[in-house]
Amino acid sequence: MEYLSASHGFIHDSGVHDIDVFCWVLKEEPVSVYTLAKSCLPQIASIGDIDTIIMTFEFPSGCIGTIDMSRKAVYGYDQRLEIFGDKGMAQVENKPATSCVLSSEKGLLHDSVMYSFPQRFEEAYYIEFDHFVKIVLEGEKPLVSHDNSRNAYIIAEAARKSSETGLPVKIDYSVKE
């Protein structure tokens, strides 16, 4: 709870990462966002934060997308991605803690999904660290720009404003720093 009360809210703390993925996959930033958010967990409500969110985005290309989030998933760290379009669908599913699967007449039983983001993204952290070392030692150009980070913040802030007003928000990237 100490961390959560200083985290600048669920959208900026966690949602910003899903927003990053959206922008990276689509190679564009959204033009508007509509957010519904609630505090279902009393301890989260007590610090004035939200714990359950649905964000709907509209992109310049006409794509629409949603992010749904909850602070509580009793079965592990749930983070999935689905892209659906006129040429098919691509999905990235949750990673179970192990690859064991029990198949019987009662169905399939597999291990729970990984419990935390450090566990789920361990390989990604090594890749990021390797990239950072190449930036410092070899002068490699960073894959993430200042504008990428700044725009993710602006998008998250628009989503937060929408959650407070209950109205869609046009995203203004010309906001001064």
Ramachandran area for residue 76 (φ above 0: left; ψ -120 to 50: alpha; else beta): left
Q: pLDDT for 17-55, tens place per residue?
A: 999 998 999 999 999 999 999 999 999 999 989 999 999
Asked if pLDDT for residue 104 goes beyond 90, the answer is: yes
Q: What is the overall mean pLDDT for the chain?
A: 91
Bridge partners of 101? 110
Look up the pTM and report it.
Answer: 0.85
Ramachandran area for residue 93 (φ above 0: left; ψ -120 to 50: alpha; else beta): beta
C-alpha distance from residue 100 to each of 41, 80, 109, 113, 122 (Å): 33, 20, 9, 12, 20
Residue position matching structure tokens 């966002």: 33
Whether residue 54 is contained in a domain is answered as: yes
Whether residue 177 is contained in a domain is answered as: no
The answer to whether 52 and 65 are in contact (CB under 8 A) is: no
Q: pLDDT for 61-90, tens place per residue?
A: 999 999 999 988 888 778 888 988 899 999
Whether residue 113 is contained in a domain is answered as: yes
Rounded distance, CA 121 to CA 95, Å? 10
Whether residue 176 is contained in a domain is answered as: no
Whether residue 133 is contained in a domain is answered as: yes
Rounded distance, CA 80 to CA 91, Å? 7
As for how many domains the chain has, the answer is: 1
Domain boundaries, position 83: 2-170
Whether residue 155 is contained in a domain is answered as: yes
Query: Which pLDDT value is given to residue 167?
Result: 98
Asked if pLDDT for residue 6 goes beyond 70, the answer is: yes
Query: Which pLDDT value is given to residue 63?
Result: 94
Q: pLDDT for 127-160, tens place per residue?
A: 999 999 999 999 999 999 999 999 999 999 999 9
Q: What is the CATH number of the domain that holds 67?
A: 3.30.360.10
Bridge partners of 55? 35, 67
Whether residue 150 is contained in a domain is answered as: yes
